[in-house]
Structure 1
Amino acid sequence: MTVLKPLIEQRADPHIYKHTDGYYYFTASVPAYDGIELRRAKTISELATAETVMVWHKPETGPYSDLIWAPEIHFNQGAWYVYFAAAPSREIKYDLFQHRMYAISCKDDNPVAGEWTFEGKIDTGIDTFCLDATTFSHNGVLYYVWAQKEVGIRGNSNLYIAPMKTPTEIEGEPIRLSIPEYDWEIIGFWVNEGPSIVKHGNKIFMTYSASATDENYAMGLLWADQDADLLDPTSWSKSQQPVLRSSPENKIFGPGHNSFTKAEDGETDLLVYHARTYTEIEGDPLWDPNRHTFVKKLKWDEQGMPVFGDAAFDD
């Protein structure tokens, strides 16, 4: 086996979406945290050299004028949406940044070349630090999943789910699914964030990331039966151990904030994640630009559970 090389360097929180037009669409946090960049290609490998287009740039001032984090591109109900988090500044209050969640939309066939409209804030009904939104559809319902601080619960963020009334508006009260509780989730920071959904067999799986964004960053897993009430926290099981973590012997550190896509064959599941290739970080890891995008195959065992393998190998 050979050690994986980054698909795209200096792109954290990577999200790859394969659309019905045969193109892969890629977005991620850019090192300057100053806007939303898109690219598209016919194959995964071609994303590495595809033209990049900044489809939305942050304003100079205002509530969403800094730290544009973790964009995700989705095609919901006939239009393109990018969900992202942004803050008014880099000021930290009550030990947290001041991020809230927002969306932009595009009705053009090609979102890389299309015109984007700022849709505003995604209001969860809880006015606290929040980020890392993703969406998925199941049984005719569009769901919103994200990470948010809840007053009275220790840590930076927990995982929540809610159905959506429209692609930019949730319906009902947020349902908390997971909090940082295991030893591996609370190294440096108490964090559950970066949720992503993949379906297989008769189950729905939700990955997430936990702990500080250095070499301690690792991925966890929730799952529920496809016929279960996804808004009932008891429908979800949670792994007590991480499913993907650093591979020090192969110099892959802090794998996490993943997404899922399909290979060119339309069947093979692929895991997309970021990781660093060193641990010698000066200062806060957030300002180190060298979280690179990696892609590897996701395997499944005989019980229909995902097998993530080693973060360094496409095995």
Structure 2
Amino acid sequence: MTVKELVKPIILQRADPWIYKHTDGYYYFSASVPEYDRIEIRRAKTINGLSEADGVTIWRKHEEGMLSANIWAPEIHYIDGKWYVYFAAARTTETNEGLFDHRMFVLENESENPLEGKWIEKGQLKTNWESFALDSTTFEHNGVRYLVWAQKDPNIYGNSNLYIAKMKNPWTIEGEQVMIAEPEYDWEKIGFLVNEGPAVLNRNGKIFISYSASATDYNYCMGVLIADENSDLLNKNSWHKSEKPVLKTDEEGEIFGPGHSCFTVSEDGKKDILVYHARNYKEIVGDPLYDPNRHTFVKELAYDDKGNIIFDLK
């Protein structure tokens, strides 16, 4: 089956999707479940096969404390022979349902198959200060492992900015975190002032970071940061932001609020694939965070003559 023949959406009611193709030939999938109470992993030999694969619950939220509410955006990675899951979690109090109180956490599994074996809590992935933090992702470049994530700076008006830092190990950053993006354009400030959901792709001599902006209704959209692969990735000036969204609501195509993307590859390895969530209707009753119908979609990517990603392929 070709990429263009993939069923869309491929997985219903799974937001913040993450698809990773491993060396064993399997695609591994993780995402936020509507109940926000657990982390599931599924795998299949094809992208489309993920829609029929059974999800295996690898971890459940705690009864109380910082890991007891709103389990969001788990990502599965394979690093130095072990599996890791990065996710955000919060706590419920008498006055707060855990919203905007998130921190980032890491799980580890030494098994060859991450659907088996034991997942160990490595604890909170701490940053340079304590505040709302989520959507951690990691990548290696030129022998250095980096973390990219979204966090609230108490001294900056808004909800979250994007940061990067080196990593000492898969659950610890080292040195100073550097802000590489904050909401600045009108399309990043609708409902909430948000830059979040980063995902990294290294192609054509460039490091691309896709990210999401604005509230999680039909205004949710995607931008991109681009740095030269030979630049200092810890220098904010190395990163250049798109002035306009690279993917946004397409009412005619019934794609509303596309965002929180990641990248994977086609089964033959020849095409880059964008994975993202969206709804297929515009009007939402109540808080968009509790509307379960953010579905997982995929689309094929292409590149222009400058080597930049063409996201919005019809």
Pick the TM interval, shorter chain: over 0.9
Q: Which of 196, 209, 212 does residue 209 from structure 1 map onto?
A: 212
Distance change (3 Å), C-alpha of 1:90 and 1:309: farther
State the SS of the aligned residue for 1:248: coil
**Matches for 1:173-212 after TM superposition, within 5 Å:** 173-212=176-215
Residues in 1 aligned to 2:5 and 2:231: alpha-carbon distance in whole angstroms: 40
**Matches for 1:18-57 after TM superposition, within 5 Å:** 18-57=21-60
Distance change (3 Å), C-alpha of 1:304 and 1:27: same
Q: TM-score, normalised by structure 2?
A: 0.96
* 1:252 matched to 2:255: yes
Residues in 2 aligned to 1:90 and 1:156: alpha-carbon distance in whole angstroms: 20
5+ residue gaps, structure 1, are none
Distance change (3 Å), C-alpha of 1:259 and 1:287: same
Q: Which of 88, 97, 106 does residue 103 from structure 1 map onto?
A: 106
Task: Say if 1:91 and 1:97, in contact at 8 Å, map to a contact too.
Answer: no
**Matches for 1:230-245 after TM superposition, within 5 Å:** 230-245=233-248
Task: Look up the match of 1:65.
Answer: 68
Q: Which of 113, 116, 119 does residue 116 from structure 1 map onto?
A: 119
Task: Say if 2:109 and 2:119, in contact at 8 Å, map to a contact too.
Answer: yes
Q: Percent identity?
A: 58
Deviations 1:93-139 (A, max 9, x none): 7x962100001010101001221111110000210000000000000
Q: TM-score, normalised by structure 1?
A: 0.95
Q: Which of 292, 297, 301 does residue 300 from structure 2 map onto?
A: 297
5+ residue gaps, structure 2, are none
Task: Look up the match of 2:79.
Answer: 76
Task: Say if 2:7 and 2:48, in contact at 8 Å, map to a contact too.
Answer: no
Task: Say if 2:128 and 2:176, in contact at 8 Å, map to a contact too.
Answer: yes
Task: Look up the match of 1:269.
Answer: 272
Aligned length, in residue pairs: 310
Residues in 2 aligned to 1:98 and 1:34: alpha-carbon distance in whole angstroms: 16
The aligned amino acid for 1:62 is: G
Residues in 2 aligned to 1:306 and 1:174: alpha-carbon distance in whole angstroms: 27
Distance change (3 Å), C-alpha of 1:279 and 1:2: farther
Task: Say if 1:146 and 1:195, in contact at 8 Å, map to a contact too.
Answer: yes
Return the offset for 1:71.
0.4
Return the offset for 1:92.
7.0
The aligned amino acid for 2:259 is: G
Return the offset for 1:12.
0.1
Deviations 1:177-228 (A, max 9, x none): 0000100000010000000001111101000000000000000010001110
Residues in 1 aligned to 2:162 and 2:39: alpha-carbon distance in whole angstroms: 24
The aligned amino acid for 1:66 is: A
State the SS of the aligned residue for 2:252: helix
Task: Look up the match of 1:287.
Answer: 290
Return the offset for 1:4.
6.6
Residues in 2 aligned to 1:3 and 1:253: alpha-carbon distance in whole angstroms: 19
State the SS of the aligned residue for 2:88: strand
